[in-house]
Structure 1
């Protein structure tokens, strides 16, 4: 068969003719090979899912960890130092809310999460804490865990009566609660006491009572063996008189020696102390508010040592440790009298003649000062006291000098 023009030789299978447009389009990709039975296995699918979830959790956890640490250590919102009181019995959530409400931390949730993370839920302490400016949540948590609450102080001067001490405690607006009853006179130890907000007034009274008992026991054990005092209570009674008779610490043993000498004479002398007159009239209120008069000296009360022998039935105030030490170990001398000397102290004398000269000198000083004339200092013998009584002033409680 002869070749004809326009006919191509046919060496292979017959192919369909393509249009010019179709010839320009890309050929379709061959179909994928059929999936293997292994790739279609459900455990492989589950495994891939678990790995994916684990990766998501890991990445999310790392992000959350970084955010938590940043929130925990970042400076807080406080613009200045602030004291915040956490009430007794507060749990972690209550503490967190209290701190957030007072602007100490940004988030109560972060604080609670930190408590949970470190396992310190049972270690949080109540009290009033000072949080510094910009304190972080972590630092705030450390402050509450450490428990170093703000401390307050109350100072009780020596010589105050129990009623006066209770009045001071009631006036303190940091202390709480009421005092059940006025403590027995002489049963409280004057001192400076530390406490935190939330402490009750009765707790301070109990603390002062324990300290007095402890100190008195120690002092009584070290007392001079020849004292004319039978019990620790008698020592406190005499110490309360010594406390109110002088404001000079160095005079206490000497004043105590005068009273001890009077009690140990073959014929004991009355103590004749002005503060006992005052206590017999006003009791626990402490101050008379005017000079002692002749009628006051002659007035018979259980406490007026111008009219009774020996010690009064109870202390006339609460003496400090120094006054009790002075009575337990008084100065050894033969002096029986003392009177104010114009310098805040006293002039001492062994005889009535010497004492009367000291009294005259004190009267002169008082006249020169233009103040009310004064004599005796509360320790003159009956004759001298009666002679000078109209001009005798009250010896005020030491706390009011």
Structure 2
């Protein structure tokens, strides 16, 4: 089993491992399933903006999707002139817009006000569009629902129709789901756009369907939608998955450093922390554990080593009682893990390793000097 290989080969923990072969297979499967008629594939870098990874997947994608100036600069370095660079964010800053215009090939402004203020300043170098809010919610949890009431994300579709901007727009961008198994919401969203905008869609050059969909099924359906948009409206179609690309390929490996009883339950303290995987705390859900078993009598609460009382990965059923020195592996944590990780309590970040199918390579490690640099109060020092 792959997770057993990681536990055996890693010299120390905590460690984050990403499986390059798995990422390559995901991207190749998408291209094979959608074919020439499928949408142009962008990787949404916010899920895992690791430069060595970006450089390796650049040949497999048509470009990258960024959400800030820093992400755009990193993407431009990784692309090195290959593929296109797209950006949308609620937070365009006046002092950054010219540089963003030079770096990015496509810019989707988040509001009509942004478009009116800044579109002319970038139209000579970038293709200009708007992010729209189709006003259709598909998620029960408003914390990550882009179309929640009073959403900050995109121009409400009702406001765009008749706003007098369509003749100046070159494209539209939308994003409505998170970790969605099927493309039903995309079908509904496109129907809403066509109903509200009609023939105005033919004025555009491109449409960005966003991301948030898994890539393990119904990819032929995605190809069909793309073909229809190209045929009916003459649009270039873009699709920008993030978590779907890196999520299944990431592993967080930790070691048990203490075990004790508390109120009749077993608690195992790990040398990692939910601060290395903050979505555990944000969304109050337990990550998948490779060692967990459906049957078994041993249960243990797996806890991080910080002083935060809620630093808990969850309670798991294990085949044997946890022991000091055991290594445990959390699966499917390749997205939104390290990009949100922090050094709370001075606990070091996990080292980053790449698995190429045969060898485990150390690609990034951290130490006290990294922690000190963050808090040393030395202006301008990098």
TM-score by length of 1: 0.19
More contact order relative to length (CA 8 Å, sep ≥ 6): 2
Q: Which of the pair has more CA radius of gyration? A: 1
Q: Report which of the two has the higher share of strand.
A: 2
